[in-house]
Amino acid sequence: MSTYFLSDIHGCYKELKILLKKVCFNHEKDNLWVAGDLVSRGPDSLKVLRYLYSLRNKVQIVLGNHDINLIAVHAGVKKNKKENYFDEFLSASDRFELINWLRCQSLLKIDKKRNIIMSHAGISPQWNISMAKIYTSAFEKCLSQDNYVDFLKRIYAHNIDFWSSHLNQLDQLRYTFNACTRMRYCYPDSRLNMLYKTSPKLVPFPLQPWFLIPSQIPKIYSIFFGHWSSLKGTHIPKPFFSLDGGCCWGEELMIFRWEDKKWFFQSFIHND
């Protein structure tokens, strides 16, 4: 039995299936951890969701910003945009079943036996593990409930970029959404900057990648995240593992096998 980690599939269904075949993924024995952004930008979001839904007993998923955006578009909270490639999904007969399954996925996965953490964008430097579990669980509960449409309307209404114990409950959830699904850079005081998306070589002082800000998470944990394709070629210190290879931008889909710490890659397939 093997455990595989990947992220940011972004509707690249062909590349996903080829990569899983390349590593001899066995859905009856192996486990697949996916760090979010299953959909959008690529052409086959519906196929990706249907496939992962078929594996739901063997797949561990955390939601990315594009996954939550799909839920919001489906609910009429946000407008559909051309670059989403959501039209096929929004007319699919099984879209409600898939959305209800997606709404019940996590923002954070923790395996205490193997000391593994997975989140789409990362974990706030202002949080310890206990805080991360409390606030992500609160967000997950709200998203999975019947009144999730009103919840999403309120989440998107304001942007919170700094954690404080004085935040009201709704602002805590807004911060949780940003830290877990949108975070890349932080200021030295740990305030989030969600404007810059480029390589760390190109951002102004004093911004730093979130994983270089002093953290309260014990270093025994391996932390897997996606969301940040421009990190390719950047040295990322242990215990962090960046999984976004930028496949939807014409680069690669990446997968990591835990047992032998080996990476595998599948280049983007250009359609004629």
Strand, coil or helix: what is 32?
strand
Q: Are 86 and 45 in contact (CB under 8 A)?
A: yes
- pLDDT, tens digit, for every residue of 53-93? 999 888 999 999 999 999 999 999 999 999 999 999 999 99
**pTM as predicted:** 0.97
The owner of tokens 């009103």 is: 150
> Which H or E run includes 6?
strand 3-6
- Look at residue 232 in the predicted model and tell me its pLDDT: 84
- Look at residue 272 in the predicted model and tell me its pLDDT: 53
Look up the CATH superfamily of 3-267. Metallo-dependent phosphatases (3.60.21.10)
Segments making up each domain of the chain, as ranges: 3-267
- Look at residue 115 in the predicted model and tell me its pLDDT: 97
CA–CA separation, 182 vs 65, rounded Å?
A: 6
- Look at residue 135 in the predicted model and tell me its pLDDT: 98
Which residues pair with residue 79 across a beta bridge?
Answer: none
Q: Which residues of the chain have pLDDT under 70?
A: 272
The owner of tokens 């299953």 is: 38
